[in-house]
Amino acid sequence: MVTGAANGIGRAVALGLAAHGAAVVATDLDGEGCEAVVAASDGRVLAVESDVSDPASVEGAADRTLEWGGRIDALVHCAAVVLHGVDEPRRPWDQWRDVDWDVYLSVNVQGAWNVCRSVAPHMAAQGYGKIVLFSSQAVGAPPALLAPYTASKAAVIGLMRSLAVEVGDKGIRVNAIAPGLILTDRVCAGLTDDYGEAQRARTPLGRLGAPEDLVGPVMFFVSEQSDFVTGQVLTVDGGMVFAL
């Protein structure tokens, strides 16, 4: 089950997992985008429209996944809000409105809690499961003018580690991936040439990330190769955070 699968990292992950033989349920608020993932895949993919900030919607997606596949071996939670506010998506920490904080927290934090709460009991019943949450490199190297986003992604790490401690005895492993600047369509739409070049120059590997760069790390975390790994954060940013 992959959330946020209609575009960006979620889409790349859903298609990548399907290409490697996984049966994938692609969920997103954008139902048409999920259907496009089904059309683009040569594998077994089901599209389910779902809003991660709505507990009932998430529960429905989990139920649909179980009806279709019989079990849920892995949850990859990619859905998130990065830039909220078309008029001014970046602003000083003391100029954010309560409504903006509510959006970041309801989607990025409550959304992560909702999907884990809906899926983990089924994994516990089968005695096995992998949960991969997406945090951000911003937690380790906070950018200016994005305080609520950074705070929400730090909360995801706290949730991940708490769950790892509490559900390990049920056979469930919980880990997180912290991407750096990834060139999704949405990021590219708001990225200036100067900023993009500055970030590329700061990256030891000499380029910015593509959504497909996250497929391998996800595959590791959902595979048997990571059966003795839980509570960990893997940064995928081309080494940028260490070169700051």
Active-site pick, 53, 57, 135, 136: 136
pLDDT at 91: 82
pLDDT at 88: 62
Sign of CA dihedral 225, 229, 233, 235: negative
Active-site pick, 57, 130, 135, 149: 149
> Would you give per-residue pLDDT tens digits along the chain (244 residues)?
999 999 999 999 999 999 999 999 999 999 999 999 999 998 899 999 999 999 999 999 999 999 999 999 999 999 999 865 545 677 888 888 898 899 999 999 999 999 999 999 999 999 999 999 999 999 988 888 889 999 999 999 999 999 999 999 999 999 999 999 898 888 877 777 888 888 888 899 999 999 999 999 999 999 999 999 999 999 999 998 876 5
130 is catalytic: no
Q: Compute the CA torsion angle 85, 88, 91, 93 (nearest 10 deg).
A: -30
